[in-house]
């Protein structure tokens, strides 16, 4: 496991600490003793952890999460998992991390995400302009392949002109 983020942790700092039941739980630092930290978790427990095993919590992240995780203040495991969980609870199954699309299986049909109107919205839209969606990635891939095809055709035409020019000499 990666070590905690090197930030200034003081008493009162909101942090994430590992939990055997729910993976990560948030809490507030109540005491620091050298490299050991006491955290009062949101469920009322007191946990002692190594300073290197805790991660700062992004208190400014919106309750519904962010659609591009590069906008998170801290890009670490508990922050990423919390963001994905918040979005999943709102049936927002797609999330970007830059140009990477993360999709979470909703285990239910979400037909509004895949109708023709939705597909039309993403045609030609720059990546990141609209909410994260598989159609956005598909559109970017399609446009890129068209550009490559055009470039290949253009190079072929240049070679053909050079060949025709050489034959005419």
Check residue 8 and give its pLDDT: 87
For residue 49, pLDDT over 70 is answered with yes
With respect to residue 44, please indicate whether it lies within any of the assigned structural domains.
yes
With respect to residue 90, please indicate whether it lies within any of the assigned structural domains.
no
For residue 5, pLDDT over 70 is answered with no
With respect to residue 26, please indicate whether it lies within any of the assigned structural domains.
yes
What's 35's domain CATH number? 2.30.30.360
Residues 7 and 27: beta-carbon distance below 8 Å? no
Q: Which residue has the higher pLDDT, 47 or 158?
A: 47
With respect to residue 149, please indicate whether it lies within any of the assigned structural domains.
no
Q: Which domain holds residue 42?
A: 14-56
> Per-residue pLDDT tens for 17-43?
999 999 999 999 999 999 999 999 999
Residues 10 and 54: beta-carbon distance below 8 Å? no
* Angle, vertex CA 88, rays to CA 85 and CA 93, nearest 5: 125
Residues 116 and 123: beta-carbon distance below 8 Å? no
Of 110, 111, 143, nearest in space to 126 by CA: 143
Domain count, the chain: 1
């Amino acid at each position: 496991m990666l070590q905690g983020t090197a930030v200034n942790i003081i008493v009162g700092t909101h942090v994430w600490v590992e939990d055997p039941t729910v993976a990560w739980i948030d809490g507030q630092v109540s005491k620091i003793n050298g490299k050991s930290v006491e955290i009062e978790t949101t469920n009322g427990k007191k946990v002692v952890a190594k300073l290197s095993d805790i991660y700062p919590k992004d208190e400014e992240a919106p309750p519904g999460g962010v659609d591009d995780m590069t906008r998170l203040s801290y890009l670490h495991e508990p922050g990423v998992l919390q963001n994905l969980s918040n979005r999943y609870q709102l049936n927002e199954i797609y999330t970007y991390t830059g140009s990477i699309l993360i999709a979470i299986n909703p285990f239910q049909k979400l037909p509004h995400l895949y109708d023709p109107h939705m597909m039309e919205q993403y045609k030609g839209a720059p990546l990141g302009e609209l909410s994260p969606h598989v159609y956005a990635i598909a559109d970017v891939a399609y446009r890129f392949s068209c550009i490559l095809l055009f470039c290949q055709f253009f190079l072929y035409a240049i070679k053909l002109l050079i060949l025709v020019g050489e034959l005419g000499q």
